[in-house]
């Protein structure tokens, strides 16, 4: 029987950032956490690991903290750079091992489309949702729409495919990046339309 995951969602991290999409599902951005909220999230992650008979070691905890503070998908080499500012002797295998542990515990997502990592902010879900990833800034929003996910998986299987993992990503451009593009285009003329999101299933 699986240990219930703690929620690193709205109450622990970012209050009102947890917006309901409709009665059957919801969406939330992986916004940053600070101060007591970040500490609260880390404490819950530690308790969850203990319940699994595992340990959130100082290195694992620091990598998770960096991802929580970032609030967006972050590449491994960026995490390594940050770790080296704190612990100058940090080596790549140390960070990769910590990421592997956090992935196996379900505390973070691997964002395949941009080769980066982001915190899973709704750990009460038995199955990860659909990730919408901004290809420009790395912002990640997780949609928990079980019926939509089931229908999508059913269509994929009907086409003769089997997903290599739980991750389903939609690639797009977030509202902020769209606004930035529009501002850059003005006053020279009309802003270009953002490309339609492209769906991709990943492990």
Count of CB atoms situated within 10 Å of the CB of 76: 17
pTM assigned to the model: 0.69
Q: What pLDDT score was predicted for residue 10?
A: 35
Give one word for 154, left, alpha or beta, with left for phi > 0 and alpha for psi -120 to 50. Answer: alpha
CB 105 within 8 A of CB 79: no
User: d(Cα 96, Cα 103) in Å, to the nearest integer?
Assistant: 10
What is the residue whose two structure tokens read 């802003």?
191
Q: What pLDDT score was predicted for residue 74?
A: 93
Q: What pLDDT score was predicted for residue 12?
A: 44
For the chain, domain boundaries: 15-201
Q: What pLDDT score was predicted for residue 3?
A: 54
Maximum CA extent, the chain:
60
Those residues whose C-beta lies under 8 Å from the C-beta of residue 121, and which sit 6 or more positions away, are 8, 9, 13, 28, 30, 142
The CATH number corresponding to 15-201 among 1.10.10.10, 3.40.50.10490, 3.40.50.300, 3.55.40.20 equals: 1.10.10.10
CA angle 116/158/196 to nearest 5° reads 45
- pLDDT per residue as tens, the chain (203 positions): 445 555 554 334 433 333 333 333 444 444 443 456 888 889 989 998 998 899 999 999 999 999 999 888 999 999 999 999 998 888 999 999 999 999 998 899 898 888 999 888 665 445 667 889 998 888 888 888 889 988 999 999 999 998 887 778 889 999 999 999 999 888 765 444 444 444 444 44
In three state form, how does the secondary structure of 108-148 look? EEEEHHHCEEEECCCCCCCCCCEEEEECCCCCEEEEECHHH
Q: What pLDDT score was predicted for residue 203?
A: 43
CB 171 within 8 A of CB 113: yes
Q: How many CA atoms lie within 13 A of 145 on its CB side?
A: 17
Query: SS3 for 57?
Result: coil
What is the residue whose two structure tokens read 């951005």?
29
């Amino acid at each position: 029987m699986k240990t219930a995951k703690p929620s690193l969602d709205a109450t622990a991290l970012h209050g009102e950032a947890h917006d309901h999409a409709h009665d059957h599902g919801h969406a939330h951005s992986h916004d940053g956490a600070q101060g007591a909220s970040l500490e609260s999230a880390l404490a819950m992650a530690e308790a969850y690991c203990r319940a699994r008979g595992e340990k959130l070691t100082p290195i694992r905890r620091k990598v998770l903290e960096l991802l929580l503070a970032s609030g967006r998908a972050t590449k491994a080499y960026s995490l390594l750079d940050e770790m080296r500012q704190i612990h100058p002797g940090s080596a790549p295998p140390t960070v990769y091992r910590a990421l592997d542990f956090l992935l196996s515990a379900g505390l973070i997502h691997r964002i395949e489309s941009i080769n980066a990592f982001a915190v899973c902010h709704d750990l009460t879900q038995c199955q990860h949702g659909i990730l919408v990833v901004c290809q420009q800034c790395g912002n990640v929003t997780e949609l928990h729409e079980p019926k939509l996910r089931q229908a999508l998986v059913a269509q994929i299987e009907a086409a003769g495919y089997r997903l290599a993992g739980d991750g389903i990503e939609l690639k797009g451009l977030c509202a902020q990046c769209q606004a930035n593009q529009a501002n850059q285009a003005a006053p020279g003329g009309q802003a270009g339309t953002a490309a339609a999101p492209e769906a991709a299933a990943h492990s």
